[in-house]
Structure 1
Amino acid sequence: MAPLHLNTPLVESAPLSRLAGRRVWLKLDALQPSGSFKIRGVGRACQTYLERGARGFVSSSGGNAGLAVAYAGRCLGVPVRVVVPKTSTARARELLAAEGAEVTVHGDSWVEANALAQSLVGPNDAFVHPFDDPLLWPGHATLIDEVAASGLRPGAVLLSVGGGGLFSGVVEGLARNGMADVPVFAVETDGAASLQASLKAGQLVSLEAITSIATSLGAKQVCRQAFELARSHPVTGLVVSDADAVRACVRLMDDHRLVVEPACGAALAPLHRGEPALASVEGDLLVIVCGGATATAAQLLAWSESLR
């Protein structure tokens, strides 16, 4: 069965390269058909569940994961039900419905929406978790397979961390392509830094609340896989402000005609603020432009004004 994701462009960013004083490469997974990298792992998981006999998919994300499940379901001819919290945007719900998903609004947070979603899984359904499913990570790792196939061996990788699915996949991809020594800069926004909190505590901890506007990074606790990999792989955790993340999004929009959400802008923000930790890394830098289907130019500009 052919993969549902695309082999996305890997391009050098001239503006960021000038800023960093070295070559900066962008892996443009914002160009995936569902709007984010999520379709890599979600597509693989959905195809696997279908082969195992699933005749329906249930998910619990009003953001990129839900959209990836809805897209996969449409491509595979499988009905999809997505439970979203009340905090999900009208645009997210519209996009889910446009992909043919049945949308249920429940709860004030993803935790509550997730609990309902799991209770709705019937005997012929598969539950597709947004980030904590071993079927997802090898799919996300294909991102690094494509980078390796291009001949690029980066000096470091910058990526955003929410629940840890992308991070887990990228580390797996580095390992299976002979790049297990390539450091990863795991970037979170202030108010959604669950990985950083767990690393500081030396154990998995849960944030009391998510206060960042980067809601796609809004997992109160990262998955155990991400936590364990962050302690075994060379990883530097960074935290940026919402304002930094939004500014990076606006710069990307101006420089590369690409609209992404603040959760994605977080990975670009360290370059714009001249992050000192990057000075210790030699070689080219690779930034995962993970995407964000619900982002709009108008919303980014509104955030930019309000966060000044």
Structure 2
Amino acid sequence: MTALYRPTPLIASAPLSAAAGRDVELKLECLQPSGSFKNRGVGAACAAYVARGARHLVSSSGGNAGLAAAYAGRRLGVPVTVVVPETTSARARELIAAEGAAVVVHGASWSEANEHALHLAEPADAVLLHPFDDPLLWAGHATLVDELAADGPAPDAVVLSVGGGGLLAGVVEGLRRNGWADVPVIAVETAGADSLAQSLALGTVVTLPAITSIATTLGARRVADRAFDLAREHPVRSVVVDDAAALRASRRFLDDHRMVVEPACGASLAVAYDAFPELDDARRVTVVVCGGATTTAADLLASAG
């Protein structure tokens, strides 16, 4: 079967360990073929749907999920259409098109793009790939934890960024199936894209009126129901950082590890760089470096001005 994702390295980070005051290891999902963890879940879903007879894959995305779908479709030999909102950067659109997908720009937000994608996926041989709310995606993302389990003992906490919650749902699934159901997950969002944190505070899933964070790839106005339920069942600690902290962490990571990641990924790195108290009881922490291909080093450096 065509491999649509790659096992990624787990490395010890001396700079992050020094900043956090504990051992920090990095799961480098930024090294996936499309530049983010999305290769795992989106790739799994694409392969499954094509095996079931799909001949046209339609994705709605702020960038990374569409890029992963385009990559998967090219490898599987199936045409892909990616619907992106107007907020998706020109760079993201170019990267998706370079993978051979058709790019359609529609609406001011991901939810509007998704509504249009639903119409494009109406033919019987087409299928809509949801970027975060599909059990096939969660199962694909869970392979990340399978690799962690193969590398060694359980960490004391896993830190990850949350947009729509697909990565959170997959990681919790992976922790459970590897006998690590007691490992806490630090679920990090940016202010202005914090649908999970607001939902947990109110005890019900809420829809944000708009995404106001610069971390547009975390731009789901409503977290998946499954992610919300798991955040209440599993030991999940919700953290919200501001845009400045996410950007600062991305720039520091560029200096420390010579890798470019989006502010959406910088949000989770900020928890370690800024030694958030949610890590106080953890001796060894794994941070999922979820990546993101739509930011450049020039973007990060310009944001410092």
Question: Normalising TM by the smaller chain, what interval?
Answer: over 0.9
Question: 1:175 Cα deviation (Å)?
Answer: 0.5
Tell me, which stretches of 5 or more residues in structure 1 are unaligned? none
8 Å contact from structure 2 (residues 62, 216) kept in 1: no
SS of 2:108's equivalent in the other structure is coil
Give the structure 2 partner of residue 140 of structure 1: 141
1:286 partnered with 2:286: yes
- TM-score (ref. length: structure 1): 0.97
Q: Distance in 2 between matches of 1:245 and 1:302?
A: 14
Question: 1:282 Cα deviation (Å)?
Answer: 3.0
Q: Distance in 2 between matches of 1:6 and 1:298?
A: 27
Query: 1:28 corresponds to which letter in structure 2?
Result: L
8 Å contact from structure 2 (residues 62, 219) kept in 1: no
Query: 1:75 corresponds to which letter in structure 2?
Result: R
Q: Distance in 1 between matches of 2:240 and 2:91?
A: 28
Q: Distance in 2 between matches of 1:43 and 1:254?
A: 31
8 Å contact from structure 2 (residues 20, 274) kept in 1: no
Query: 1:12 corresponds to which letter in structure 2?
Result: A
Give the structure 2 partner of residue 149 of structure 1: 150
Query: 2:49 corresponds to which letter in structure 1?
Result: Y
Give the structure 2 partner of residue 237 of structure 1: 238
SS of 1:83's equivalent in the other structure is strand
Tell me, which stretches of 5 or more residues in structure 2 are unaligned? none
Q: Distance in 1 between matches of 2:8 and 2:219?
A: 26
Query: 2:270 corresponds to which letter in structure 1?
Result: A
1:85 partnered with 2:100: no
- After superposition, what is the alpha-carbon deviation per residue over 1:27-54, rounded to whole angstroms, capped at 9, x for unaligned? 0000000110001011110010011000
Give the structure 1 partner of residue 190 of structure 2: 189
8 Å contact from structure 1 (residues 243, 304) kept in 2: no
8 Å contact from structure 2 (residues 59, 117) kept in 1: yes
- After superposition, what is the alpha-carbon deviation per residue over 1:238-288, rounded to whole angstroms, capped at 9, x for unaligned? 000100001100111001010000000000101222212211x23200000
SS of 1:108's equivalent in the other structure is coil
SS of 1:145's equivalent in the other structure is helix
What is the 5 A alignment of 1:110-121?
A: 110-121=110-121
Give the structure 2 partner of residue 130 of structure 1: 131
Question: 1:152 Cα deviation (Å)?
Answer: 3.3
Q: Distance in 2 between matches of 1:135 and 1:227?
A: 17
What is the 5 A alignment of 1:66-105?
A: 66-105=66-105
Query: 1:96 corresponds to which letter in structure 2?
Result: I
Question: 1:2 Cα deviation (Å)?
Answer: 4.2
Q: Distance in 2 between matches of 1:13 and 1:198?
A: 33
8 Å contact from structure 1 (residues 86, 106) kept in 2: yes
Give the structure 2 partner of residue 52 of structure 1: 52
8 Å contact from structure 1 (residues 62, 82) kept in 2: no
Query: 2:52 corresponds to which letter in structure 1?
Result: R
SS of 1:58's equivalent in the other structure is strand
8 Å contact from structure 2 (residues 163, 223) kept in 1: yes
Query: 1:180 corresponds to which letter in structure 2?
Result: A
Identity among equivalent pairs (%): 65
- After superposition, what is the alpha-carbon deviation per residue over 1:132-172, rounded to whole angstroms, capped at 9, x for unaligned? 01110010000010011001310001100000000000011
8 Å contact from structure 1 (residues 137, 172) kept in 2: yes
The change in CA–CA distance for 1:15 and 1:209 in structure 2 (over 3 A counts) is same
8 Å contact from structure 1 (residues 83, 117) kept in 2: yes
- TM-score (ref. length: structure 2): 0.98
SS of 2:25's equivalent in the other structure is strand
8 Å contact from structure 2 (residues 186, 278) kept in 1: no
Q: Distance in 2 between matches of 1:21 and 1:201?
A: 33
Give the structure 2 partner of residue 254 of structure 1: 255
- Range with greater deviation from structure 2 (150-159 or 160-169): 150-159
SS of 1:304's equivalent in the other structure is coil
- After superposition, what is the alpha-carbon deviation per residue over 1:160-212, rounded to whole angstroms, capped at 9, x for unaligned? 00000000000111111111000011000011100001001101111111100
SS of 1:199's equivalent in the other structure is helix
Give the structure 2 partner of residue 40 of structure 1: 40
Q: Distance in 1 between matches of 2:275 and 2:294?
A: 28
Q: Distance in 1 between matches of 2:201 and 2:294?
A: 32
Runs of 4+ in 1 over 2 A off after TM superposition: none
Q: Distance in 2 between matches of 1:62 and 1:192?
A: 13
Q: How many residues align?
A: 304
Give the structure 1 partner of residue 176 of structure 2: 175
Question: 1:85 Cα deviation (Å)?
Answer: 1.1
Q: Distance in 2 between matches of 1:62 and 1:17?
A: 32
Q: Distance in 1 between matches of 2:62 and 2:160?
A: 21
SS of 1:185's equivalent in the other structure is strand
Q: Distance in 2 between matches of 1:158 and 1:3?
A: 26
What is the 5 A alignment of 1:292-303?
A: 292-303=292-303
